[in-house]
Amino acid sequence: MGLILEITDVERLLDKFEKSSIREMKLNLDGSELFLSKNEYTQKTEAEAGPVLPAQKAESPLLPKEAAEAAPVVQAEKAVSGHAIKSPLVGTIYLQPAPDKPAFVKAGDQVKAGQTVCIVEAMKMMTEIKSDVSGTVKEVCVENEDLVECEQTLFLIKEA
């Protein structure tokens, strides 16, 4: 006898997944598959054809349309226009030196090459991210305390 998930079961599963430290989860039930991922980029498996999308955007027989609309959506990285400052590692980004301090930089600020623009924390190690060019901060592409991936664009700089 097959297992049937009700919408409330799926909603509880999504809620628990979102609050957990688990980054990816795959659930197979009688030939139906539900794949959840908090990662911006997901590796392709051999069985999958075409591009891999974050689970929040994917349609699944186990995830009714209402639950899919309520699920958070991960935005794909925007097309780069200007010099991109990218994360050298996976971790949590901090846009300010301390919670009670102002941001290192914000859109419209002038930056100099070598100036600290944020901090990425990985495994309790704080890594200062410095601008490699001088110019104007055109866009801050992340939010404070976001989980960032390696090579993810953090800032766009219009070079001077």
What CATH number does the domain containing 114 carry? 2.40.50.100
Indicate whether 65 and 19 sit together in one domain: yes
Domain with 152, as residue range(s), is: 83-159
Is 76 strand, coil or helix? coil
Per-residue pLDDT of the chain (160 residues; tens, 9 = 90+): 556 667 787 778 887 878 877 777 777 777 677 777 776 654 444 444 455 444 444 444 444 444 445 444 444 444 547 899 999 999 999 999 999 999 999 999 999 999 999 999 998 899 999 999 999 999 999 999 999 999 999 999 999 8
Distances in Å between the Cα of 67 and the Cα atoms of 81, 108, 130 are 34, 38, 40
Strand ordering across the sheet containing 116-122: 125-130, 116-122, 91-94, 147-148
Last residue of a domain, one of 49, 70, 91: 70
Is this prediction's pTM over 0.85? no
